[in-house]
Structure 1
C-alpha cells in the first residue's frame, strides 16, 4: 500500500492506494500552527477508523505548497510509519515524461495534475483545479506544459466578500435557482458560481484559439463538483486527479 499526501493551502488531502485503487481518502484542514505530534494524532485516528494497518505502507509520496509543514510531515511519517518520504520537488522533474516550464515557479500539485492528465488521456488537455486558487494548466499531446493561468478560488472569493464587507454573509457554494438573485445568498451564489462558469468557458475558449486546437478539459479539486453542469467546456470531472498524478510520479521515481 502507498500513502499519498497533498498539502494545499486550505486542505491536506491524503489517501491509501492499494494496487491502483484508492482504499481511503481523507481531507483535513491545513493548519501551519499544528505540530508533527498533533498531526500524528489525526493520522493515527484516521488510520484506525479506516482499518488501515500502518505496517503495510510501503511507500509515502508527499507534495506540498506549504513549505513550513514539510519538516513536520517528514518527522511524522518517519516516526509513525518508519518510512522515508519521497518529497516531490523540481530536482526530480527531469526524470518525468513531461516537459515542465519554469520548474521552480510551478507548484508540485500542478505538476501532478499535468502528469495525471497526460498519462490518462494522451491528448491536449487543460486541467482546472478548484482549490484555494483556481488554476488552469494546459498540457500538449506530447506532454509539454504550455502554460498556467491563476485566479482566486471560489471559496477565496466568497471569504473575501464576507470578510471585506459589512453586510454580506459567508454563503454555501451551490448552484443558485436563477441568475437573478432574489435574496443576498442567491445573489452571491449567482455572481460567484455563474460568474466563474463564464470565466472558465472564456479561459478555455481563449486558450483553444491561441493554440488553434481543441482541448480535453478536466476539472479537479475540492470544489469542482459545484460547477458540474454549470459550464459547457468541462468534459471530465476527476476528483482525485492530483493524488493520481502524485502516485504516478512516485511509481516512476521509485
Structure 2
C-alpha cells in the first residue's frame, strides 16, 4: 500500500510520497481546484493503481470536499483528515485547539521532534505567516498570524485603484524611485519587519535564545533577511508532521 501525506492550504496543494519508513521521498506542488492535474500526478505516482493510505491536513473546507471526492475516484483509498489542532498529537496550551489550524500544529510537532532542546519558534510562510512559540518545557503556547507576501501584495492591488500586483521573490532595496520597486520594498520589508518584531517579543522572556525553524513556500525568500544564531529552513514541515503520525500509527499496528 502506498503512503501519501498532503497539505491542503489556501494557495496550493502539496503531496508527499513516503517510503516504508515513512520518510518523504518525493513531493509535488499542485494547483487548487484542478482535479485533472491531481489525477495526472496520481497516475504518474501510481501507474499500477495500488491501494493507498492518505493523511491529509486541510485548512480549506470547500476544496477538501472536492479533493476527497477525487481521491476516492482514483481507486482504493484510505483517507484520514486533520482539520484542526485538536486532531494532532502535540503538547500545547491553546484555548481553542478545535478551531486552530491543523497545519500550524503539524509544523510545530515536526519542528519540536527535530529540535528536542526547547525553547523554539516556528515561522510558517504561506498565504498567512504564523510565528509559533514553544516554551522551555516543549509546550506550544500558540503564536501570531500576519499577512504573507502574496496576501499583502494582493491586498494593496485589490484595495487601491492604481497599484499593480507585485510579489517580491527576493530581497529588494528598501526604497524605490518608481511605483513597482516602492511596492516591492514596502511589501517585502514590511513582512520581514513584522516577523522580526514577533521573534524579538516572543523570545524576550526565555532564559536562552530559542532555535528558529522556517517553513512554507516563502521561507527560503524571507529567512535570509533575518539573522538568527540557530536557524534552519525546512520547506515541508507539515508533510513531515503528518509522516510522523503515520509512522506512529504503523507502530501501533
TM over 0.5: yes
Once the two structures are superposed, residues 45-77 of structure 1 have per-residue CA deviations (whole angstroms, 9 ceiling, x without a partner) of 1134x4444645542101111122333333332
What is residue 3 of structure 1 aligned with on the other side?
Answer: 4
Q: Which residue of 2 aligns with 1:131?
A: 126
Residues 38-117 of structure 1: pairs in structure 2 closer than 5 A:
39=35, 41-48=36-43, 50-53=44-47, 55-56=49-50, 58-89=52-83, 92-93=87-88, 96=89, 98-99=91-92, 101=94, 102-117=96-111
CA distance in 2, matches of 1:45, 1:30: 14
| Aligned counterpart, 1:238 | 234
TM-score (norm 1): 0.86
SS of the residue 1:6 aligns to:
strand
Q: How far 1:207 moved relative to its partner?
A: 0.6
What residue number does 1:35 align with? Answer: none
Q: How far 1:244 sits from its partner (Å)?
A: 0.6
Q: Name the structure 2 match of 1:178.
A: 173
Structure 2: how far apart are the matches of 1:131 and 1:160? 15
Give the ranges of 4+ consecutive aligned residues of structure 1 lying more than 6 Å apart after TM superposition. none
Superposition CA RMSD, Å: 2.2
Partner of 2:159: 164
1:251 match: 247
Instruction: Tell me the distance in 2 between the aligned counterparts of 1:97 and 1:218.
Output: 17
Counterpart of 1:228 in 2: which secondary structure? helix
- The answer for the alignment partner of 1:15 in structure 2 is 16
**1:227 maps to 2:229:** no
Between stretches 110-119 and 164-173, larger displacement belongs to: 164-173
SS at match of 2:199: helix
Q: Which moved more, 1:171-180 or 1:155-164?
A: 171-180
Q: How many residue pairs end up in the alignment?
A: 244
Superposition deviation, residue 204 in structure 1: 0.8
Q: In the superposition, relative to structure 1, how do residues 44 and 23 fare at CA in structure 2: closer, same or farther (>3 Å)?
A: farther
What 5-or-longer segments of structure 1 have no aligned partner?
A: 32-37
CA contact (8 A) 2:4 2:15 kept: yes
- State TM-score, norm by structure 2: 0.86
SS at match of 2:205: helix
